[in-house]
Chain A
Amino acid sequence: MKKARVAVGGTVHDAFEYKGKVKLTDGRVFSEEEVEWLSPVEPQTVFALGLNYADHAKELSFSAPKEPLVFLKGPNTFIGHNAWTKRPDEVELMHYECELGVVIGKTAKNVKKKDAYQYVKGYTVSNDYAIRDYLENYYRPNLRVKNRDTCTPIGPWLVDRDDIEDPMNLPLRTIVNGEVVQEGSTKDMIFTVPDLIEYLSSFMTLNENDIILTGTPKGTAGVHAGDEVVTEIEGIGALKNNIISDKEFA
C-alpha cells in the first residue's frame, strides 16, 4: 500500500493511494492537486548519506568512502510533494539529489544485515538539495549546505516494504522542466540498505519513523528559480518540487 499524510479542509489526514487518487481514512477521495502534501512520516531523526554511489563520488573527485559518510538533518528542512523550495539568489551551485528514503519500522539496535529488512517499514523518495557554494571543510557537508529550510522535499508516498520486491535494484531519475537530467539505479549504492541499517544500529538505537536517505547517483547539476524538479524512483513515486528565488519567497 502507498500511504501519505495530507492536509485537507483545514486538518491533517492519513491517506492512501486509490486508483491514482488520494483516499482519506474517512473515505473521501481527492485528486493529487486538491490536497496539501506533508512529509509521509513526521521527521525526527533523519540520516543522510554522502558519496554513497561510486559514480557520484567519482564525479565529485572523491574516492569511494570506506565507511558510510553519514550526516543528520533537522525537521526544519523537510517539505512535502508539490511544494516550493527557496533558492538564495547569491548562489551558483544549488544541486538536486534524487534519493531513496528508507523508513524504519521499529526500534533497532545491533541488527545484522540478514535481518535488516525486518526493521524497515517502507520507502519514499527524497530530493536532498545541496547548496554547494556553502561547502566548507568542517563537518562537511555542513548544515548550511544540507539543512536549510524547505531544502529537503520528501514523499509523496510511503510505500510498504513488502510491496517492493528488491529495493536494491530500482531505477531512479531526476527530471528538470520535463528533461531527464539524472539517471541511476539503487544497485550502484556502495553501502546497501542492509549495510546501512547494520552500520547505524551497531552504535546507536534507531527508532520507528527514523529515515535514512541513502545518497544520490551521478548526474547532479544546478537548478534555478522557476524550475520544476521531479525526482522519481520506480515503484515508489514521483516527487515534484518547484524552485523559487528567496526574494520572491519572502
Chain B
Amino acid sequence: MAKARSLFNDLYQSTTVEVETATNQVTHKNNTHQANDLHWRVPVSGTVYGTALNYKGQLEQMGDSLNEDPYKAPPKAPVLYIKPINTFTPHQASIPLPDGEQELQIGAALGVVFKKTTTQVEADSALDYIEGFTIVNDVSIPHESVHRPAIKQKARDGFCPIGPWVIQAEDISNPDDLRIEIMVNGEVKLTNSTKNLVRNVKELIADVSEFMTFYKDDVLLVGTPENAPIVREGDTVAIQIEGIGTLENKVEAE
C-alpha cells in the first residue's frame, strides 16, 4: 500500500488515501473501492511542464537528423514545453478527438509534483523538493518535427489526463527505475522504464530550476518514451507506472 493525495467525488479539498498501486484499489476511511467506482478530479493545480527528448531511445531514433537541418546539433539544455490548464482532465474522463483528426499519439509520462518553491537547486538535494509522483498522459496530434513549439498539436482541450492521484515521495524508493506500460483496449502497446532517461529526475530538476522556478503543486513531466502508440476514436488507453497506479481514459469524438 502506498500513501496518496487525491481528490474525488464531492471532496472539497485533497485527502490522503491508501492505494494498492498494482490493482488501482483505494482505501479511504476504512472503505476500499476500485478507483473506477469513484469520480476523480485532477489532483494538481499548478503549471505542468513537459520535457521532450529525454528518453535515450528517442535520441537514438533521431540519429543523424540531430545534426541536420533544422536541428543542426543535438540538444544541450532540456527541451521543455507547457501543457496549459485547458488540457487538464482527470482519470476516466474522455480525451476529445478533434474534428478532422483520426489519430492521437500517447505520451506516457512520470509527473514529478513539487511540494515547495524550487529555485536553483543542486541535483543532490533535488529530491527533497518533491511531494510525490503522478501519471500524465501527454496526448498529441501525431507530428514528427520538434523544431517549433507544438502548441497546436499538444495544447488542445483535454489533451493532458493527470492522476488518478499523487503517490507520496516516501513510497517511491527510486523514481529512476519505474516500469511504464501503455495498454490500448487492454493490449500492451509499449513498455519502457524511467531508467532510460537522458537526465534522471534529480538532474532534470537541477538543470531546469537553474533558470526557472517551480512552485508548490507544479508538475514536471520527465519525458515520454519513444514509439508512442497511436489511438483512435473509441479506444481506451491506460498508462501504468510501477508504484503509482494506472491512469485510464477513452478517446471520444469532440
The reply on B52 being an interface residue by CB < 8 A is yes
Q: How many Cβ-Cβ contacts under 8 Å join chain A to chain B?
A: 101
The reply on A63 being an interface residue by CB < 8 A is no
Which chain B positions have C-beta within 8 A of A74? 47, 49, 82, 212
Question: Nearest-CB distance from B51 to chain A (Å)?
Answer: 10
Which chain A positions have C-beta within 8 A of B155? 72, 203-204
**Contact check: which of B85, B150, B215 meets A44 at CB < 8 Å?**
B85
Which chain A positions have C-beta within 8 A of B73? 136-137
Contact A140 B147 (CB under 8 A): yes
**Contact check: which of B85, B157, B211 meets A144 at CB < 8 Å?**
B211
A75 vs B151: C-alpha distance when bound (angstroms): 17
Highest count of chain B CB atoms <10 Å: which of A44, A69, A149, A204:
A204
Question: Nearest-CB distance from A88 to chain B (Å)?
Answer: 8
The reply on A207 being an interface residue by CB < 8 A is yes
Contact B147 A207 (CB under 8 A): no
Tell me the residues in window 120-163 of chain B with beta carbons closer than 8 Å to chain A beta carbons: 146-152, 155-157
The reply on A245 being an interface residue by CB < 8 A is no
A140 vs B80: C-alpha distance when bound (angstroms): 10
Contact indicator per residue, chain A 73-100, by CB within 8 Å of chain B (1) or not (0): 1111100000000000000000000000
Given contacts A45-B84, A148-B211, contact A71 B71 (CB under 8 A): no
Q: How many residues belonging to A are interface residues under a CB distance threshold of 8 Å?
A: 31
The reply on A57 being an interface residue by CB < 8 A is no
Question: Nearest-CB distance from A184 to chain B (Å)?
Answer: 24
A75 vs B119: C-alpha distance when bound (angstroms): 14
The reply on A205 being an interface residue by CB < 8 A is yes
**Contact check: which of B53, B146, B157 meets A204 at CB < 8 Å?**
B157
**Contact check: which of B85, B146, B152, B211 meets A149 at CB < 8 Å?**
B211
Which chain A positions have C-beta within 8 A of B52? 138-139
Contact indicator per residue, chain A 131-143, by CB within 8 Å of chain B (1) or not (0): 0001011111111
**Contact check: which of A44, A72, A140, A207 meets B151 at CB < 8 Å?**
A72
Given contacts A72-B81, A139-B150, A204-B156, contact A149 B119 (CB under 8 A): yes
Of the A-B pairs whose beta carbons lie under 8 Å apart in the complex, a sample of 12, sorted by A's number, is A45-B84, A45-B85, A45-B86, A72-B82, A74-B47, A77-B212, A137-B71, A138-B71, A139-B80, A147-B80, A149-B213, A204-B84
**Nearest 7 A-B pairs (CB), nearest first?**
A72-B82, A45-B84, A143-B80, A71-B149, A138-B79, A76-B213, A205-B86
Given A74-B49, A144-B78, 9 further pairs, Cβ under 8 A: A45-B84, A70-B152, A136-B76, A137-B73, A140-B149, A142-B80, A144-B77, A205-B86, A207-B86
What residues make up the interface of A, taking CB atoms closer than 8 Å to B? 44-45, 47, 69-77, 109, 134, 136-144, 147-149, 203-207
